[in-house]
Structure 1
Amino acid sequence: MTTAAQFPPYGDFEADCPARMAVDLFANSWLPVVVYLLRDGPQRHSELLAGAGGISQKMLTQTLRRMERMTLVRRRRYAEAPPRVEYELTEVGRDLLVPIHALGAWVERHGPAVTAAMYGEPLG
């Protein structure tokens, strides 16, 4: 069992509450996907697009820009013709893999029960 993080007292999800930032990070459904795709090292936009399955080019660009502003990814542009751009996780972004892996483990344990409850299917 994990212990809850200890934060200074805040009102229920006030704007500066750290829990609100965490919820916001995972509310963007593509952000954790892109972080996970970048776990093994830098990738180009086209590689991320192919790996994400279902994300539009526009949404990937918006997600990467947002992640860059949040210091989760670093954009590296190479002076080549044609120009080559790669994205890689920063230390902050790599650290986000910890809760992503924890969430994945939770889904492994409880996903079948949640799916059964949502769709009215009997368990195993």
Structure 2
Amino acid sequence: MTAVPAAPIEAAEVEFAPYGDYQSDCPARMGVDLFGNSWLPVIVYMLRDGPMRPVDLRVAIGGISQKMLTQTLRRMERMTLVERRRYAEAPPRVEYELTTAGRDLLIPIYALGEWVDRHGAAVRAGLVGVDDDG
């Protein structure tokens, strides 16, 4: 059976107020910066089904240190992407849950996943034998 190529995804074009190229307050740059932190989209994706405790997040993600997880969750909390809930129990229990803004980040994450599904093999094949220095 021959694979049928997927139809291109049509994304709505967004009009921004005029900014200089890559100025720090440019909304597009903020979006790129969010994905520049390699763990942030992973954590958003892992929280897609509801709140999780940090220990469960770390196990589910794999490969992330406790320090990096804590730093990223704190950053995400400051950015209002996650909400931290502390329960008055012994021992204390903490959970993180996506806010509306965090849930909305799933849209580009899913779109990126679709792109990787369509083009990832070709990109990986092009990287074979390429060193990190370019």
Structure 2 length-normalised TM: 0.87
Q: Which runs of 5+ in 2 are unaligned?
A: 1-9, 130-134
- Pick from 54, 64, 81 the counterpart of residue 72 of structure 1: 81
Matches of 1:80 and 1:9, distance apart in 2: 51
Report how many aligned residue pairs link the two structures.
Answer: 120
The whole-number CA distance in structure 1 between the counterparts of 2:57 and 2:11 is 32
* Percentage of matched positions with identical amino acids: 72
Query: How far 1:2 moved relative to its partner?
Result: 2.5
Query: What is aligned with 1:119?
Result: 128
**Counterpart Cα distance in 2 of 1:76 and 1:57:** 18
Cα RMSD for the two superposed structures: 0.9
Aligned position for 1:91: 100
Moved >6 Å (runs of 4+): none
1:106 partnered with 2:88: no
Deviation at 1:14, TM superposition (A): 0.4
Task: Output the TM-score relative to the length of structure 1.
Answer: 0.94
